[in-house]
Amino acid sequence: MKNNPLPKLVAAASLACLVLALANVAHADDEKVIKREGTYSTSKGGSGTTSSTTTKANGVVTRQGTWTNAAGGTGTKQSQTVWNKANQTATVNGSVTRPNGATSTWQGTKARTAPGVIQGSGTITQANGKKDTYTSTDTKVAPGTWDKSEVITTANGKTIDRTVDTSVVNGKGTRTVTTTGPNGQTMTRDASFNQSVSTVPVPAPSN
């Protein structure tokens, strides 16, 4: 049986749906910390737990996440997005390390193109050194609800479609990821989580 590359591409291309939501104060932004703890299951029979911390301050969004599968293997994911508030664009980079130790990285750009709409593009470098490209669109459907669509073009020209639907209401969240491979094969990943948000004032820099 040939190895199915779809799960690896899903993990490498998983870009945290990180959306800037910073509150302005007179001289500095507050630091917002978002923590999530939850579980997931996949259409392939996989399951496990997830944990992540996202910090937003002064136009910089950082995220650290881990997941543990049913077999006890642990993976990690980190990303950073740096926004230019003047022109509403951002640079993004990140990496994911799977339980087998293989690491993929990505880098790209984002831009707010309309109220509640963020478009992005970039490059994914797989653990084997091959480079894929991606384009993405994040759309705010309602307060706490975002839909993301992404198209990944692999190094050999094949395309993978991916959608991410996230909703958070009163500290309870759900996230469904649907990935369709070049041959039409579809895999889903459903997650539920508890979310807490805290805000810490960031002192203005002294002159």
Q: Which residues contact 37 (CB under 8 A, 6 or more apart)?
A: 49, 50, 51, 193, 194
pTM of the model: 0.82
Spell out the per-residue pLDDT of the chain, length 207, in tens.
445 555 555 454 453 333 333 333 333 468 999 999 999 999 999 999 999 999 999 999 999 999 999 999 999 999 999 999 999 999 999 999 999 999 999 999 999 999 999 999 999 999 999 999 999 999 999 999 999 999 999 999 999 999 999 999 999 999 999 999 999 999 999 999 999 999 988 666 555
**Quick one: which of 110, 136, 105 has its CA closest to 123?**
105
Instruction: Identify the CATH number of the domain defined by range 6-200.
Output: 2.40.160.40
d(CA 71, CA 23): 41
pLDDT of residue 206: 59
The whole-angstrom distance between residue 86's C-alpha and the CA centroid of its chain comes to 24
| Amino acid (1-letter code) at residue 90 | A
- Six token digits for residue 57: 């301050």
What sign has the CA pseudo-torsion 178, 38, 13, 88?
Answer: positive
Contact between residue 63 and residue 16 where contact means Cβ atoms under 8 Å apart: yes
Beta bridge partners of 57: 60
